[in-house]
Every structure is written in C-alpha cells, then in structure tokens.
Amino acid sequence: MLRGLYTAASGMIAQQRRHDTVTNNISNINTPGYKQSNAVTRSFPEMLLAMTGLENAERTEVGRWTSGVLAEESLSIHLQGDLTQTNQASDFALISNIEVDGLSFDASGKTLSEDGEVVFQPQAFFTVQDPSGEIRYTRGGKFTVTGDGFLMTGDGSNVLGANGQPIVLPQGIGLDNLVLTEDQRFVDTQGNDIGVQLLISRIENPNDLVREGNGNFRFKDGEEGDVQPIAAGERIEVRQGYVERSNVDAAQASVDLMAALRAYEANQKVIQFYDQSLQKAANEVGRV
C-alpha cells in the first residue's frame, strides 16, 4: 500500500517544480532577452515484481512497476525572441540564426546528426564581465552608460569589446552620437571609427550554459564550453534601438500552469485516499 503513497508524493514534488518553472517564465515575460525554461521529468527505473515463497518453489512474475517520477532538470529554450523598437541608443537586440554545414535545424533549434545524436543550433550572446570579474553571456541588451563612459548592463556588469576588455566610450561621446555598423563597430555621425567593437560570442551548444540570474548565463564550474568570437559572415545581426523580448509563449505557459496544478491535485487525492485507508486499518480493522 505504501508504494502508491510514495509514488503519488514523488508526483506532487515533480509537479510543484514544474509549476515553479512555469510561474518563473510568466513573471519574466517582459524581461528583455529572457529565455524560457522547461522542466524535464523522468520516471524512476522500472522494477520487476514477482511472487516468491510458493509451494512449487517457482517464482511467478507479477509485472513491472514504476515507483514514481522526478523533475530531473530545467532546460532553457534558446529560440529567437521578437524584437521591440525602443528608439533608445543604449538598447541592442541580437538576431541569431547561425548555420552549420550539412545540418538543418527545426523550429525548436535542434536536429539529428547522421549518427543519430541530437545537435543544438549554436547561439550568439553578448559577452559581459560581472562585478567579480567572471565572464558571463546574455541576450539582454538593455545597456546603460556610466558617467565615466563604461557600457554596462542593468546588474552592473561591464559589456566587453572585441579586445576582451570592458567597453569605454571616448570622453564627451555618447551613444546618441554613435551608430553600430554591421560588424558591431561604433562609428560617429561622420562615419569615423572610434575603435570600439562589441564582442559577440558563439556558443556551440547553448544547453551547456547554466542560468545564473539577471539574464546572465555561465558554464558549469570547472568546465570550459565551446565558445569563440563570432566570425565574419555568420548569420547574426545586432540592432541598435531595439530589445529582444522574452521567448515565453504566454498561452502555452497558461496551459502548462493549469496542467501542473491538475496533476498536483490528482496526486494529492491519491495520498488522501491512502491516508484514509491507513486510518481505517489502524482504527477499525484492529478492533475486529
């Protein structure tokens, strides 16, 4: 009897995590550059049940039994979000559609190689340096310029240039007087190069990244991911005066939220049923 109790409890925990993931997506639906997360669940390994101790000393198989599910991980969906025009010179939006020779990616950004392995589409990211000096990657391009000319993100991270150093605009020159070229260089209104170029990084497998908060991603501790500066001719574009909206599907998120709630309630009812059964076994059957 307790087997079903534990199975239902694991289902409640998994649905709670799924619910938390969906609500986090909904709360960030207006966050520039936010990438949706999906909770991935899997079942525990199946077990083969058998009856033993029979008179003929033969084991009789009853069948397979799954002991429950768990929320294994949350995967980020790195699909392109829609662009919103802000007309703010400090806002930048990345458009990324990187191609890989011999591969054609589906709408979810993945495909199968000839060996049958899942391959994810490489993605482009702005490269930033957080206050502790660590390199991070983000699609949130809503930047600001400090009084001393540093280009920074909303959480205080420095935006890095192609030279790997924080971008510092020349004294007296603001982003309102600069235009971003196709190769991510800043030029003034006369077309003069001021020597500043954005560092756009290509991440071969964006699922190697770990979500850190504030729109930033990093590689797992102790791991060096496959990352390199974007090459000339890559199908990426940076638009000034735009921001990339989150790629959260509000309608699907609402459906997922309701489905998680209903599944949670169903498992809750099962636990209540077992609780009532145990109560009767302890209080009524024992009096017979």
pLDDT of residue 55 exceeding 70, the answer is no
Q: What is the pLDDT of residue 286?
A: 59
Q: What is the pLDDT of residue 257?
A: 93
Q: What is the pLDDT of residue 287?
A: 64
Q: Where are the domains of the chain?
A: 2-76+249-287, 84-244
Average pLDDT score over the chain: 87
- What value does the mean pLDDT take over residues 155-160? 93
Q: State the Cα angle at 247 between 241 and 252, rounded to 5°.
A: 145
- What value does the mean pLDDT take over residues 81-110? 90
Instruction: State the CB neighbour count (10 A cutoff) for residue 13.
Output: 15
Question: How does residue 115 score in pLDDT terms, banded at 50, 70 and 90?
Answer: confident
Q: How many percent of the chain have pLDDT more than 70? A: 93
Q: How far is CA 84 from the centre of its chain?
A: 21
Amino acid identity, position 46: E
d(CA 175, CA 145): 8
d(CA 276, CA 266): 16
Q: What is the pLDDT of residue 207?
A: 87
Question: How does residue 56 score in pLDDT terms, banded at 50, 70 and 90?
Answer: low
Q: Cβ(81)–Cβ(31) under 8 Å?
A: no
Closest CA to 267 of 8, 54, 89: 8
User: Two tokens at 40?
Assistant: 């991935």
Instruction: Write the CA distances from 87 to 104, 175, 176, 197, integer angstroms.
Output: 34, 12, 10, 20
Among the ranges given (31-35, 41-45, 62-66, 150-154), the one the predictor scored with the smallest mean pLDDT? 62-66
Question: How does residue 7 score in pLDDT terms, banded at 50, 70 and 90?
Answer: confident
3-state DSSP percent of the chain in helix, strand and coil, to 5: 25, 35, 40
For 183, left (φ over 0), alpha (ψ -120 to 50), or beta? alpha
Question: How does residue 58 score in pLDDT terms, banded at 50, 70 and 90?
Answer: low
Question: How does residue 41 score in pLDDT terms, banded at 50, 70 and 90?
Answer: confident
Burial label, 263 (beta-carbon count in 10 A; 0-12, 13-18, 19+)? middle
d(CA 12, CA 271): 10
pLDDT of residue 185 exceeding 80, the answer is yes
Q: What is the pLDDT of residue 40?
A: 82
pLDDT in tens, 212-252: 888 899 998 777 778 999 988 888 999 999 999 999 999 99
Q: What is the pLDDT of residue 129?
A: 94
pLDDT of residue 54 exceeding 70, the answer is no
d(CA 117, CA 66): 27
d(CA 212, CA 226): 18
pLDDT of residue 288 exceeding 60, the answer is no
